[in-house]
Amino acid sequence: MTDTLEAATDQSPRLPDYNARRLGFTAGVIAAAVMLLAIAVLRLLSGVQSLPEVVAEGVLVNLPGALFSAVLDSLQHAAKQLFYLAIAIGMLIVGGLLGRWFAAAPTWQRACKMVIGLWVVFGVVIYTLLGAGIFGSALSAGPVWHGLSLLLIFGVYGLALWHTYAWLAHRAMPQLPDTSRRIFLRNAAVAMVATVGLGSLWRLTIGGTVAGGTQVPTRVAAGGSTPALPPNPPPFDLKGISPEITDVNDFYTVSKNFIDPSVDAGGWKLTVDGLVDNPMTLNYDQLTALPPTEGYYTLMCISNEIGGDLWGNAMWRGVSLKWLLEQAGVHADGYKAVFSAADDYKDSVMLANALNPDALLAWEMNGQPLRKEHGYPARLLIPGIYGMKNVKWLTGISIVANDFKGFWQNQGWDDAAPYQTESRIDVPHGRDTLSAGPLSVGGVAFAGNRGIQSVEVSTDGEQTWQAAQVKPGLSSNTWQLWRADITVNNAVHDLRVRATDGTGKLQTRQSADPFPSGATGYDTVRIAVS
Ligand SMILES: Nc1nc2c(c(=O)[nH]1)N[C@H]1C(S)=C(S)[C@@H](COP(=O)(O)O)O[C@H]1N2
Ligand SMILES: [Mo]
Q: Is pLDDT larger for residue 51 or for residue 203?
A: 51
Q: Flag whether pLDDT at 360 surpasses 80.
A: yes
For residue 292, is pLDDT > 90? Answer: yes
How does the average pLDDT of the chain come out, rounded? 89
Q: Yes or no: say if 372 and 364 are a contact pair by the CB < 8 Å rule.
A: no
Nearest CA to ligand 1 atom 10: 388
Judge whether residue 219 has pLDDT over 50.
no
Three-state secondary structure call for residue 137: coil
Q: Which residues surround ligand 2, an ion (CB under 5 A)?
A: 254, 301, 387-388
Identify the residue with better confidence: 131 or 38. 38
d(CA 127, CA 58): 8
Burial class of 289 by CB neighbour count within 10 A (0 to 12, 13 to 18, 19+): exposed
Confidence of residue 1 (pLDDT cuts 50, 70, 90): very low
**Average pLDDT, stretch 293-316?**
95
pLDDT at 215: 15
Question: Atom 16, ligand 1: which residue's CA is nearest?
Answer: 254
What pLDDT shows up at residue 483? 98
Q: Is 259 in the pocket of ligand 1 (CB under 6 A)?
A: no
pLDDT, one tens digit per residue, over 482-525 is 999 999 999 999 999 999 999 999 999 999 988 899 999 999 99
Give the pLDDT score at 206. 64
Q: What residue segments make up the domains of the chain, in order of their start?
A: 4-206, 248-411
Residue-level pLDDT at 6: 46
Read off the pLDDT of residues 243-290 as tens digits, 9 standing for 90 and up: 999 999 999 988 887 778 888 899 999 999 999 999 999 999 999 999
388 lines ligand 1 (CB under 6 A): yes
Q: CA–CA separation, 19 vs 171, rounded Å?
A: 12
H-helix segments, 14-141: 17-46, 51-62, 65-75, 79-102, 108-120, 127-129
Q: What is the pLDDT of residue 238?
A: 96
Q: In CATH, what is the architecture of 248-411?
A: Alpha-Beta Complex (3.90)
Q: Is the pLDDT of residue 401 over 90?
A: yes
Q: Determine the residue of 57, 297, 373, 388 to mutate for testing ligand 1's pocket, defined as the one with the most ligand atoms within 8 A of the Cβ atom.
A: 388
Instruction: Give residue 77's pLDDT.
Output: 54
Q: Burial-class residue 37 by CB neighbours within 10 Å (0-12, 13-18, 19+).
A: middle
Judge if the beta carbon of residue 343 lies within 6 A of ligand 1: yes
- Is 253 near ligand 1, meaning CB less than 6 Å away? yes
More confident residue, 5 or 302: 302
pLDDT at 225 (0 to 100): 66
Average the pLDDT over each of 99-103, 127-131, 453-457, 520-524 and give the range with the smallest value: 127-131
Q: State mean pLDDT over 128-140.
A: 87
Q: What is the pLDDT of residues 168-185, one digit of tens each?
A: 999 888 888 887 888 999
Q: So what's the pLDDT on residue 348?
A: 97
Note the pTM of the prediction, 2 decimals: 0.77
Ligand 1 close to Cβ of residue 398 (< 6 A): no
**What is the rounded distance in angstroms from the CA atom of residue 231 to the CA atom of residue 229?**
6
Question: What is the C-alpha separation between 376 and 508, in angstroms, rounded?
Answer: 35
**Selection from 239, 192, 184, 383 nearest residue 300 by Cα:** 383
* 3-state SS assignment for residue 287: helix
Q: Is the CB of 341 under 6 A from ligand 1?
A: yes
pLDDT confidence band for 126 (50 / 70 / 90): very high
> Picking from 38-42, 66-70, 295-299, 508-512, which range would have the lowest pLDDT averaged per residue?
66-70
* Residue-wise pLDDT tens digits, 68-83: 666 655 555 566 677 7
The finding on whether 387 has its CB within 6 A of some atom of ligand 1 is yes
Ligand 1 test: best mutation among 390, 394, 414, 515, most atoms within 8 Å of CB?
390
pLDDT, average across residues 145-168: 95
Does residue 120 surpass a pLDDT of 60?
A: yes
> Which residue, judged by its Cα, is nearest atom 24 of ligand 1?
391
Residue 347 has pLDDT above 50, yes or no: yes
76 C-alpha vs ligand 1 centroid, how far in Å?
16
